[in-house]
């Protein structure tokens, strides 16, 4: 009888150790920073000038046409 009680406690202890060591660890990467509209506008203001506005417009139109074709 004492043997069964001790064996039961050992089994419970082993189960608790197994459950405790198998706990999931959170390894989610930090969320990516999303740009605001103001940041997009500032970036566009740097990239698009009076001199290259037509060229940039053609690039955008080609990009839109390619995406529409898919």
17-38 average pLDDT score = 78
Answer whether residue 25 shows pLDDT above 70: no
The predicted pLDDT at position 28 comes to: 78
What is the domain partition of the chain in residue ranges?
37-70
The pLDDT assigned to 66 comes to 92
pLDDT (0 to 100) of residue 63:
93
Q: Is the pLDDT of residue 6 over 70?
A: yes
DSSP structure class, residue 61: H
Q: Which one has a higher pLDDT value, 44 or 21?
A: 44
The number of CA neighbours under 13 Å toward the Cβ of 26 is 3
Q: Which residue matches tokens 């390894």?
A: 27
Residues of 8-31 as b/e, b for ≥16 C-beta within 10 angstroms? eeeeeeeeeeeeeeeeeeeeeeee
CA 68, chain centre distance (Å): 27
């Amino acid at each position: 009888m004492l043997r069964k009680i001790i064996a039961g406690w050992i089994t419970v202890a082993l189960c608790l150790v197994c459950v405790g060591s198998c706990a999931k660890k959170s390894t989610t990467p930090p969320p990516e920073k999303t740009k605001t509209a103001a940041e997009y506008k500032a970036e566009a203001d740097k990239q698009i000038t009076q001199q290259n506005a037509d060229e940039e417009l053609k690039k955008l139109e080609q990009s839109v046409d390619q995406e529409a074709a898919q």
